Amino acid sequence: MMRLLLPGIIAMAVIVTASNILVQYPLGLYLTWGALTYPFAFLVTDLANRLAGPAVARRVVLAGFVTGVVCSFIGTQITGEFGPLVTLRIAIGSGLAFLTAQLLDVTIFDRLRQGSWWKAPLVSTLVGSSVDTALFFTIAFSGTLTFIEPANDVSWAADPMPLIGLGPVAPFWVSLALGDWIVKLLLALVALVPFRVAVARLTAKVA
């Protein structure tokens, strides 16, 4: 199954790179286009886990992490309208969230792999996505963590407003996190279809 490692690494690198680019482009008030591509990193991890096992899946995750670090470094060197495209807090939040969530996904998937075909990818992705969102947005924008990068003004993220325009008043970054989380949950359900099809086809080829 090691022959699946390279395709997995390439797919993960493409998704992480695309997401790092597309995150620069807003999609409405609470999302970016990157929110639509990044969740498929969990699909790649789960396919690698199902077809080649957790050891290969962790290598795919590591490749994605390294790709993300490289993208973040490049982003810190590019100055946009409001400063560097990637700040230290965003870089730390992105890297820590990705690595923690993906490795958690691998562990949960492996624990549930003997159950119904949909249970392992769905549960592992839902848990991993939730952890990913909570870690990234808290580290990147929470006012309680300004000590990480004092020179980075994220006061705009603390502006109070109705939660995603409808709910109780909360800091703006909480609405960003909630919008991102909802998209991840929806795409976790959508991803079950390509997961089922890919596993069936690739398993048939191996057989």
Q: Phi then psi for 116, rounded to 5 degrees?
A: -55, 150
Per-residue buried b or exposed e for 136-151, using 16+ beta carbons within 10 Å of the residue's own CB: bbbbbbbeeebeebee
- Coil, strand, or helix at residue 81? coil
**What is the set of domains in the chain, with CATH numbers?**
2-206 (1.10.1760)
Are 2 and 54 in contact by the 8 Å Cβ rule? The answer is: no
Give the Cα separation of 14 and 12 in Å (integer): 5
From first to last of its 207 residues, the chain has per-residue pLDDT tens of 567 788 999 999 999 999 998 988 999 999 999 999 999 999 999 999 999 999 999 999 999 999 999 998 888 887 766 667 788 999 999 999 999 999 999 999 999 999 999 999 999 999 999 999 999 999 999 999 999 999 888 899 999 999 998 889 999 999 999 999 999 999 999 999 999 999 999 887 655
Give the Cα separation of 171 and 163 in Å (integer): 8
Are 31 and 23 in contact by the 8 Å Cβ rule? The answer is: no
E strands, 22-151, in order: 26-27, 31-32, 79-80, 83-84
